Amino acid sequence: MLLAFDVGNTNIVLGVFRDGQMITNWRLETDNRKSADEYGMIIHQLFRYENLDFAEVEDVIIATVVPSILYTLQHLSQKYFNTRAIVIGPGIKTGLIVKYDNPKQVGADRIVNAVAAHAKYGGPLIIIDLGTATTFCAITPKAEYIGGTIAPGLKISSDALFEKTAKLPKVELEEPGHVICRNTINSMQSGLVYGHMGLVEFIVQKMKKELAEYCAKEDVCEEDIKVIATGGLATMIDQGVDCIDYVDKLLTLEGLELIYRKNKKNRKQVTQEEIEKTDMLYEGKL
C-alpha cells in the first residue's frame, strides 16, 4: 500500500492506496508541535479503525506547504514504515513543464493538483484550490504550468476581521442567504462568502482570457477551458458561482499517487542503523 500525505497550513489529508486505488482517506489538524511518535499513534488508530495494517504500507509520499512539519513526517516514515518518503520538490518527475520564473517557488500542492487534473480532465485547465489560501493555476493542453494567482482564503479573511477589529466577532463560514443583512454576524458572513465567490468569478474570467490568448496557436478558445475546484471550501463556493465545471475534493491525493508511480523505481528500504541514527538526530542526541 501507499500512504500519501497532503500537508496544508490548516489540515493534513491522508490517503491510503492499494494497487493504484484509494481505499480510504482522513483529515487531521496540522500541528507542528506534534512529534513523529504522536502522529504515528494517531495514524495507527486510524488504520485499526479501518482494519488496515501498518506492515502493508510499502511506501510514503508527502506534499507539504509547511516546511516545519516535513522532518517530522520523514522521521515517521523511516521509523514506522521503514522507508524514505518521496517528497514533492525539485528532482521529482511530474510530467509537467513548469513555466514559472522560478519553478522552485511553486507550492508542492499546486504542482500535484496540476498533475492530477491534467491526467483526469485534459487541458486547458484552471485549477482552484480553496484552502487556507485560495490559489488559481493555469495549465495548457501540453501540460505546461504557466502560472496563476494566490489570494487570502476565506478562513484567513475571517480571522483577520476578528483579530484586527475591536467589535467584530468570530463567525462560522456559511452563506447567510442574503446580501442585505440585518445583523453583524450575517453581514460578515455575506461579505466573506459572497465576496469570495465574486473573487473566484472575476479571476476565472480574467484567467480564461489570458490562457486562451496563450494557447491561441492551438486553436483554444475560452469555452474550451475547464475549471476544476478542490480544497475544503470548494463545495460551498461552487454553490454560488457558475464558473466551476467540476469539484474534485480528493484531487491532491490522486495527484500524489500518480507522481508516486512516476518515481517509484529504485526505491529502497532504510536500514535499522539509519533508523536509529535518525531517532538520535530527532531527539537531539547527535
User: C-alpha 14: how far from its chain's center?
Assistant: 11
Q: Count Cβ atoms within 10 A of the Cβ of residue 16 and give its class: 0-12 exposed, 13-18 middle, 19 or more buried.
A: buried
First to last CA, the chain: 33
What residues are labeled active site?
A: 109
Given a contact cutoff of 8 angstroms between Cβ atoms, the answer to whether 78 and 84 are in contact is: yes
What phi and psi values does residue 126 have, to the nearest 5 degrees?
A: -120, 125
Find the angle CA(4)-CA(13)-CA(207) to the nearest 5 degrees: 100
Give the separation between CA 43 and CA 273, rounded to whole angstroms. Answer: 24
The CA dihedral of 120, 124, 128, 134, to the nearest 10 degrees, is 140
